[in-house]
Chains A and B, each alone.
Chain A
């Protein structure tokens, strides 16, 4: 720790009046630390319980903090405040937190029962695992959900079970991913239009709560609508593609997944359609 303290001493030599701990706290700390509850960082009450009578340790930690709380952000170094300033902040924290009891933290998602969270079907943009940051989670019904990626205009995966738990994301500022509440049963490694297809996302419509995605692949305009299967588990994917040339789409076989089409033939993982067939066709993905 010595070199840090030495460099601080150099900074301090130009400082004049005794630092005002309360003012320094307002300037440097209030965005993340509140008196009686954890915000970004621990409450002043908790800091008191950790550092009461240990000003040196408080200063050391503030100059060279480390990550210690899972799910929380590591504090940036506060070396710029200077040792004297940090000691004044320490005194202020110990003073205002004396005898204060921390508020009880709410456990779990207080808004889990919100009508907009429980409604089915549901389309929700959120950071999802194993997909780009521009992903969209879709609950088709109570059992069937999928992750559609607006970053590359394609289905990433589908799962059965519950929908998502987004609380880790929502309780903060987006520093966590949503959790899939179920078992992923189907994953697509690339766009059915090809790995290097030039796609551009155009948005989606919502009909009866279900999404109809719209995007372009080169000159072709594609709409891709999702709905749950009428029985069992899986999803129905209805396409409309405006194309002048025959369409070849890749749907590689996956164990536990049966794919049927109402137009053309799906053979060897390839679906070949005439432009007329491509104008409206539906694939049904049944999941075990």
Chain B
């Protein structure tokens, strides 16, 4: 008990305890004896939660009585799940998209139907499979992670091998010579089919269309409330920091390894292409999570339902994060029809902790966070977060302006604290290296901060915005008229398109 008390004391003294005045954080007991790393979650039509674990169990958690019931077993690294109206579950596992069905009504799955498996597997550990996300027409979107040169491919692979690359099949599959081949193979590689691609499947899974390319380790895919297909990816090679993308058909999203599978590709090993040419091909990220500050390994996006959190957050997207002890809220904006976002920490400095891999909202508006580590830094089990209904100060909306930003808050602001606002911006170099430092970082001079008559809106003048720059607005010192601290005090706005 001593440790627990000590930890509580640390939490209370070292950080703002603002979140805990408004939200409760409760650890949910997972079934005894089982590896409690959570890979996938969704809510069933009847309100139970379907939770998939690291060793392939799928269980139903009943929030009403806290009970767990085993539904299916033996899946391989399930990392995405979609509940269907008839009670069956679509689960993405390493090798395939599977439909789990209980055909005899005994409460456990007796059919594991292969919905789609027409993609390659090299046997490399890093080839995780993510999804599905379903659009309004019922089409399913999955996204396939690429291999890491931390290990070679397996001698036996599934599907076709791409000859495009510096190392041939023998070199790619031989452990003994991997030390010399791993460099030329590329930090991450996609030598089997559709790795690094988003695939669009017809509702029955029978037809597939390669939809978008350029992904690395996209551990988050989902539609936002406005029907945009959001995908997060992880900082690494060709990823200066972790990006958030609004994925459209035919787009290339920055990591070149997947290009070897582009129809008619004749650009040779994409890794050796002119970086400027690749840069011109890539779609600019709709958002950036600054590494080490907001998120190192962002995860799944979910939509905040009405009534779950404060009113202004309804319909917004919240994203999980593995390495920083917080979630990330997405504030969307559009300039000339171009989607771009500000990313804001959520539950930073709360008891939430790290390893926040999957999330789902329960019927009562509680947010359930499923945790994992998979040998990286992380955690395990499930945390339930519930808002107690007490209002708090937060940034609700942000709009890019020709000379700054308009910020709308959930409560009237104390005008005397406007002077504490500060702003900075930086950009990143796109390169093959692993991550990238901030580039051209500069402090922005705030030449005006005007409060609206109702006190809820601040117009911030910082001069013209710079495209492809991540603009930080630091609101740490901001107080509400009633003296409340702001929760989620920083907003990182990635300007894709600057308003004129």
Contact = CB atoms under 8 A, between A and B. Distances in A.
B73 A30 contact: no
Interface in A151-198: 151, 166, 170-175
A76 B183 CA distance: 10
Interface in B144-162: 148, 150-151, 154, 156-158
B94 A40 contact: no
Given A39-B377, A116-B34, A125-B93, A204 B112 contact: yes
B172 to A, nearest CB: 14
Most buried by A among B74, B296, B374: B74
Most buried by A among B99, B122, B148: B148
Given A76-B434, A114-B35, A116-B57, A203 B112 contact: yes
A26 interface: yes
Nearest to B78: A125
B114 A202 contact: yes
A125 B74 contact: yes
A206 B376 contact: no
Most buried by A among B57, B126, B322, B377: B377
Contacts of B117: 134, 150, 201
Given A126-B76, A205-B112, A114 B33 contact: yes
Contacts of A201: 96, 114, 117
B55 A117 contact: yes
A49 interface: no
B191 interface: no
B184 to A, nearest CB: 14
Contacts of A133: 94-95, 121-123, 127, 154, 156-158
A206 B35 contact: no
B74 to A, nearest CB: 4
A174 B158 contact: no
A125 B56 contact: yes
Interface in B93-114: 93-96, 98-99, 109-114
A230 to B, nearest CB: 23
Given A73-B151, A134-B158, A173-B125, A111 B35 contact: yes
A206 B113 CA distance: 11
Contacts of A173: 125-126, 374-376
Nearest to A27: B292
B315 interface: no
B340 interface: no
B296 A31 contact: yes
Interface string B331-373: 0000000000000000000000000000000000000000001
Contacts of A202: 113-114
Contacts of B187: 76
B43 interface: no
Interface string A39-80: 110000000000000000000000000110000011010001
A23 interface: yes
Contacts of B123: 127, 132-133
B121 A116 contact: no
A28 interface: yes
B112 A206 contact: yes
B316 interface: no
Given A123-B73, A203-B113, A32 B376 contact: yes
Could you tell me the dominant secondary structure of chain B's interface residues?
loop
Contacts of B35: 110-111, 114, 170
Given A80-B435, A116-B55, A134-B158, A175 B150 contact: yes
Most buried by A among B75, B292, B373: B292
Contacts of A127: 76, 123, 154
A223 interface: no
B268 interface: no
Contacts of B73: 116, 119, 122-124
Interface in B262-301: 291-292, 296-297
A3 interface: no
Contacts of A34: 377
B54 A170 contact: yes
A115 interface: yes
Contact of A125 (B70, B75, B99, B376): B75
B108 to A, nearest CB: 9
A67 B149 CA distance: 12
A150 B95 contact: yes
B227 interface: no
A131 interface: yes
Contacts of A66: 179
A73 to B, nearest CB: 4
B448 interface: no
B34 A114 contact: yes
B326 interface: no
Contacts of A203: 98-99, 111-114
B121 A31 contact: no
Contact of B96 (A27, A80, A111, A134): A134
Given A31-B297, A115-B33, A150 B96 contact: yes
A150 B114 contact: yes
Contacts of B113: 202-203
A19 to B, nearest CB: 10
A102 B76 CA distance: 32
Nearest to B123: A133
A207 interface: yes
A31 B156 contact: no
B77 interface: yes
B459 interface: no
A111 B112 contact: no
A265 B34 CA distance: 47
B110 A172 contact: no
B323 A131 contact: no
Given A23-B292, A133-B121, 13 more contacts: A26-B296, A27-B292, A32-B377, A39-B375, A76-B150, A110-B35, A116-B55, A125-B76, A132-B158, A136-B74, A150-B96, A151-B158, A174-B374
5 contacts: A73-B151, A124-B73, A127-B123, A133-B122, A202-B114
Interface of B: 33-35, 54-57, 70, 73-77, 93-96, 98-99, 109-114, 117, 121-123, 125-127, 148, 150-151, 154, 156-158, 179, 182, 187, 291-292, 296-297, 322-323, 373-377, 433-437
Interface of A: 23-24, 26-28, 30-34, 39-40, 66-67, 73-74, 76, 80, 110-111, 113-117, 119, 122-127, 130-134, 136, 150-151, 166, 170-175, 201-207
